[in-house]
Structure formats: structure tokens, C-alpha cells
Structure 1
């Protein structure tokens, strides 16, 4: 006989024995699952008797429940990682903006310094003071050393 000539119950005789679990049966399985994720053989047979279903159905329910729980856990982890990624990307964009702002400040200071350097060169010739001392004083003023006083600054 060809395969198409078999009826579903002849081909798969166990299908007619499978019953859908009712809410109370599911509640009992859920309660047991919350205490123990792995199904021991004794518990499997005890639950099967209590629920009035084949032990194999209890085993499959546990297996499916673990798979669903794992998928939910993966989805939760994925959402958390996605949120962390979005936060890091936002912080990265903020830091890039800050870097650009600081580069602009450095550029402005360099321009001021270059202008100062050219004016110091001509004044040093006239006054006779050291260009190096004036540069140090200028850096100190830029860094908040008050009143134009000379502030010692690292290798300058």
C-alpha cells in the first residue's frame, strides 16, 4: 500500500491517545517544574498517574518547557544587550562630540599662541626679555595661573 492510503491513526496510532492538558494539569506541572527543572523517572510516573496522561507526555511537556524557558531567557538577554549597545553608542556619540569640542578649543589656543608668538618675537627684540619666559607666562595664564605671575609648568 502506498503511504497516502494510510489513515492518520493507522500511520500514527499513538496520536489518538494523546490528550491536550487542561489548566489544572498544566498548573500541577508548572508547580513541579518550578521546584525541579529536570524530571526524575519516579516523579515522571507519579505525575503521569496523578494527571492521567502517559509518562511520555509528561517528559515531552518538561522538555518543551525547558526549551521555552531557554528561549525566553535568550530573548531577555538579547534585549538587555541591545539596550546596553544603544547606551554605549549614545555615550560614544556624546564623547565624539566632546572630542570635537575639545579639538576646537585646542585649535583656538594654538591660533592664539601662534599670534602671541609672532607678537612676542617682535617685543622681545625691543624689550630684551626672554621669549621662553613669556611663553611660560602665557601658558600659565591660559591654565588659570592668576595675575600674570609665572607658574612653573612641567617641561616648558
Structure 2
């Protein structure tokens, strides 16, 4: 183990502050050397590369030798980091109520035929009529009812709507 001695016998420092700072430098150097030895002895090159990339975010170490990778890690660890406080705005409560689950499934019926069909939210009633014309035997002259009320063919379907196509009486399907 290499230990660097910053305090020499020839130069006596009179100030206590400078003695303390020199001792701190000596301790930092000692920690640096022990950390270097620890990394060298306890980790393989592959582990050191993974540590660089994943833990420290250091890139460009794929072709470096072990001692160069250790130097990069020690440089990164030597940097002093400061944490800044982050203030978040927008602390008010949300007041609008939204449905817990959003479903694009719409219940559509025509006479005895009915079913739940996904992906119909946001479509016009006329599109649904054309799309399900053969599946539900929907007549071209049938009248659409959305949620029990008569609706136009241009009505846009919303979540939770039910559509019923009613045929005129006296006509055969």
C-alpha cells in the first residue's frame, strides 16, 4: 500500500487550520488508495464495466483496461455532488370526476339480434348501422334509438351508450 505523507519534518506549520487541512488531504489520499485496491482486488473487468455503465452512467469503457476503468470510477466518486431542492407546483386537488374504467364497448340491438361490440365509441350511428347491417339484420329504413331516445344518424356515440335499431311495423325483414 502506498501512503503519501504531506507533512514533512523540515517545514513546520504554525497555523492549526493548515495542519487540519493537510491531515484531511492525507486521509483523502489514503481513502483513494484503499478504494483503488478494493476495486482492483474484488471486481473483475466485466463487473467494473457494468458498474461504470449502470451505476455511474460512465460511457466509453468497453475497450479500456482494468486500471483505466478504476481511474474513471475514482474520478466519478471524487466529484462532489450537491442536491438541489425541487419545488413542485400544482398542489390543488382535481375536481372533475372521471369514470374508473374506460370502455369502448357499445351495446347494439336490432329486433331479436343484439350484442356488445368494442371500438364503437366516437363513431356515428350511421357507421355502426353500415358496419353491423348484415350481422344484426339492420334495415336501411330502421330508426336509431340511443339510450331510449330517438337519435339522428349523425349522433356520435359516447361511453356507456346503448343503440337500438327499430324496424317499422308491417315490413318483413
TM bin, normalised by shorter chain, reads: under 0.3
TM-score, length basis structure 1 = 0.28
Choose between structure 1 and 2: higher strand proportion: 2
Structure having greater relative contact order (Cα 8 Å, sep ≥ 6) = 2
Choose between structure 1 and 2: higher helix proportion: 1
TM-score, length basis structure 2 = 0.25
